[in-house]
A and B are shown apart, each in its own frame.
Chain A
Amino acid sequence: AQKVTQAQTEISVVEKEDVTLDCVYETRDTTYYLFWYKQPPSGELVFLIRRNSFDEQNEISGRYSWNFQKSTSSFNFTITASQVVDSAVYFCALSGGSGANSKLTFGKGITLSVRP
């Protein structure tokens, strides 16, 4: 069975601070995909990033960066120079891949509040 754990429940930062959201996952699949989604107060889930299990290269995309480490089963997400518009609930999710394995398993989410 797949499991995603987001130990942090709420984080509050002041605008322009960097913030890292933690995610730990469990899976028996050798091929899997990891995601971060954002859910603003409007409620719609917005896709942010995806990483597959074959590629541990960490990347930066604008103000977003992620740190994927298979050895510790972690997929942490960092927002640099946070902005008030970043305030939302952030979900880490895991999928086994295509077809019947494509369903997403989500963590409980982290509520991020960015204060001006």
Chain B
Amino acid sequence: GAGVSQTPSNKVTEKGKYVELRCDPISGHTALYWYRQSLGQGPEFLIYFQGTGAADDSGLPNDRFFAVRPEGSVSTLKIQRTERGDSAVYLCASSWPGLAGGSSYNEQFFGPGTRLTVL
């Protein structure tokens, strides 16, 4: 089966513009995550969806960042009024949800990422 896909693979935009990044998770995976990886750093958590709802958005840096997953499958990360500091690789991952109580863990499968460059 297909893995996690992300489009576009590269996005170049100008400061102040609006961008949308798309993630298509593995079919049937109800959990979806967005991470941001700046140059020379490890990925940093942005937001986690369980189904259609954002279960944890504590990693979003400010209100310019927003993500949706209206039908519980494809997710879109939206960035308003982009700044040069937003330049990074945006990674999406999906998984089956773990069992309640934290007694198990399901591996997150990562997509290839979208490289965003804000000029």
Contacts and interface: CB of A to CB of B under 8 A. Distances in A.
Contact of A100 (B56, B59, B95): B56
Chain B: interface size category = 35 or more
A103 B45 contact: yes
Interface stretch (A58-66, A76-84, A91-99): A91-99
B101 to A, nearest CB: 7
Interface stretch (A12-20, A40-48, A67-75): A40-48
A108 B40 contact: yes
Contacts, number: 83
Interface in B11-45: 31, 33, 35, 40-45
Interface in B61-109: 89, 91, 93, 95, 97-109
Nearest to A46: B110
- SS class of chain B's interface: helix, strand, loop or mixed? loop
Contacts of B100: 98-99
A108 B97 CA distance: 26
5 A-B pairs closest in CB distance: A98-B98, A97-B102, A106-B42, A45-B110, A103-B45
Interface of B: 31, 33, 35, 40-45, 48, 50, 55-56, 59, 89, 91, 93, 95, 97-113
